[in-house]
A and B are shown apart, each in its own frame.
Chain A
Amino acid sequence: MQTQLSKADLRAPGIANNDAASMMLTLTVAGQLCAVPVLTVRDVLGAQTITRIPLAPHEVAGSLNLRGRIVTAVDLRARLDLPPREPGQVAMSVVVDVGGELYSLLADQVGEVLSLDTEGTSPNPPTLDASWKEFSLGVHRHGEQLLVLLDVERLMALGV
Chain B
Amino acid sequence: MKGPSMDDLLADFLTETNEGLASLDAALLQLERNPSNGAVLSEVFRTVHTIKGTCGFLGLPRLERVAHAAENVLGLWRDGTLPVTQGGITLILSAADRIRQIVAGLEASGSEPIGDDAPLKAALDAAASGEMPTMEKPAAEPPQASMAAPPGAAPLPVQAAPPAVELPTSEPLAEASTGGNAPQTIRVAVDVLEELMVLVSELVLTRNQLMQLARAEENATFAVPLQRLSQITSDLQDGVMKTRMQPIGNAWAKLPRLVRDLSNDLGKRIELEMRGAETELDRQVMELIKDPLTHMVRNSADHGLEKPEQRRAAGKKETGRILLNAYHEGGHIVLEIGDDGRGLNTDRIKAKVISQGLATEAELAAMSEREIHRFIFRAGFSTAAEVTSVSGRGVGMDVVKTNIERIGGMVDLVSREHRGTTFTIKIPLTLAIAAALIVEAGGERFAIPQTGVLELVRVGLGDGPKVERIKNSAVLRLRDQLLPLVPLKQVLRLEPVTEAPQTEGFVVVTQIGAQLFGIVVDRVFDTEEIVVKPVAPILRHITMFSGNTILGDGSVIMILDPNGIARAVGLGLEGTEGGAMQEQATAPRRRDRSTALLLFRAGAGAPKAVPLNLVARLENLEAGRIERTGDSLVVQYRGALMPLVPLDPYASTPQSGQQPVLVFGDRDRAMGLMVDEILDVVDVQLQLDNAGLRPGFLGSCVIAEKVTDILDTGYWLKQGQPDWFETQVAAGTRPRLLIAEDSDFFRNLIVPAVMAAGYDVTTVNNGRDALRLRDAGEMFDIIISDINMPELDGFGLARAVREGGAWAELPMIALSGQSEPCDVERGRAAGFSDYIAKFDRDALLSSLQHCLQPMLAR
Contact = CB atoms under 8 A, between A and B. Distances in A.
Contacts of A68: 202, 205-206, 550
Contacts of B557: 51
B202 A63 contact: no
Nearest to A54: B492
Interface string B536-550: 111111101100111
Contacts of B493: 54-55
A117 interface: no
A69 B494 CA distance: 25
B533 A156 contact: no
Interface in B485-505: 492-494
Contact of B537 (A52, A63, A101): A101
A68 B554 CA distance: 8
Contacts of B199: 1
Contacts of A127: none
B538 A52 contact: no
A1 B199 CA distance: 9
Contact of A60 (B492, B538, B540, B549): B538
Interface residues of A, number: 25
A111 B538 CA distance: 27
Interface of A: 1, 49, 51-57, 60, 62-65, 68-70, 72, 74, 101, 103, 156, 158-160
Contacts of A57: 538
Contacts of A158: 538
B494 A54 contact: yes
Contacts of A70: 533, 536, 548-550, 556
A65 B550 contact: yes
Interface string B182-211: 000000000000000001001001100000
Nearest to A103: B536
B396 to A, nearest CB: 28
Contact of B539 (A1, A53, A69): A53
A159 B202 contact: no
A72 B540 CA distance: 12
Nearest to B568: A55
Chain B contact residues, majority secondary structure: mixed
B543 to A, nearest CB: 9
A1 B542 CA distance: 29
A60 B397 CA distance: 37
Contacts of A156: 538
Given A63-B548, A63-B558, 9 more contacts: A51-B555, A64-B556, A65-B554, A68-B206, A70-B548, A72-B539, A103-B538, A159-B538, A160-B537
A49 B533 CA distance: 19
Contacts of B556: 51, 62-65, 70
A49 B444 contact: no
Given A54-B444, A55-B492, A70-B550, A60 B539 contact: yes
7 contacts: A52-B444, A54-B442, A55-B492, A70-B549, A72-B535, A101-B536, A158-B538
Interface in B541-575: 541-542, 544-545, 548-550, 554-558
A63 B533 CA distance: 12
A20 to B, nearest CB: 26
B539 A65 contact: no
Nearest to A63: B556
Interface residues on B, range: 20 to 34
A72 B544 CA distance: 17
Contacts of B535: 72
Given A49-B555, A51-B557, A55-B542, A72 B536 contact: yes
Contacts of B538: 57, 60, 72, 74, 103, 156, 158-160
A51 B557 CA distance: 7
Most-contacted residue by chain B among A55, A159, A160 (CB, 10 A): A55
Contacts of B545: 53
A51 B444 contact: yes
A64 B550 CA distance: 9
The 5 nearest A-B residue pairs measured at CB = A54-B492, A68-B202, A72-B536, A158-B538, A51-B556
Nearest to A157: B538
A145 B341 CA distance: 79
Contacts of A56: 539, 542
Contacts of B540: 159
Contacts of B549: 70
Contacts of A60: 538-539
Contacts of A52: 444
B199 to A, nearest CB: 8
Nearest to B492: A54
Nearest to B537: A101
Contacts of B492: 54-55
Nearest to B203: A68
Residue in A54, A63, A74 with the greatest tally of chain B CB atoms within 10 Å: A54
Nearest to B540: A159
B799 to A, nearest CB: 61
A1 B198 CA distance: 11
A51 B536 contact: no
Contacts of A51: 444, 555-558
A65 B555 CA distance: 7
Contacts of B554: 49, 65
Contacts of A54: 442, 444, 492-494, 544, 558
A5 to B, nearest CB: 15
Nearest to A55: B542
Interface in B506-551: 533, 535-542, 544-545, 548-550
Contacts of A69: 202
Interface in B622-656: none
A9 B713 CA distance: 73
Contacts of A72: 535-536, 538-539
A53 B541 contact: no
Nearest to A67: B202
B559 to A, nearest CB: 11
The CB with the most chain B CB atoms within 10 A, among A53, A57, A158, A159, is that of A53
Contacts of A103: 536, 538
Contacts of B537: 101, 160
A60 to B, nearest CB: 7
Contacts of B206: 68
Nearest to A158: B538
A31 to B, nearest CB: 27
Instruction: Name, among B199, B538, B545, B548, the residue most crowded by chain A CB atoms within 10 Å (CB to CB).
Output: B538
A103 B538 CA distance: 10
A159 B444 CA distance: 22
B841 to A, nearest CB: 46
Contacts of B548: 63, 70
A160 to B, nearest CB: 7
A156 B538 CA distance: 8
**Of listed B494, B536, B554, residue having the most chain A CB within 10 A:** B536
Interface in B756-810: none
Contacts of A53: 539, 542, 545, 558
A70 B199 CA distance: 14
Most-contacted residue by chain A among B206, B544, B555, B556 (CB, 10 A): B556
A52 B548 CA distance: 12
B541 A159 contact: yes
A57 B556 CA distance: 18
A65 B492 CA distance: 22
Nearest to A59: B538
Contacts of A74: 538
A39 B513 CA distance: 48
Contacts of B205: 68
A3 B555 CA distance: 19
B728 to A, nearest CB: 56
B533 A55 contact: no
A104 to B, nearest CB: 11
With most chain A CB atoms within 10 A of its CB, the pick from B537, B540, B544 is B537
A19 B485 CA distance: 60
B195 to A, nearest CB: 10
Contacts of A160: 537-538, 541
A49 B445 CA distance: 14
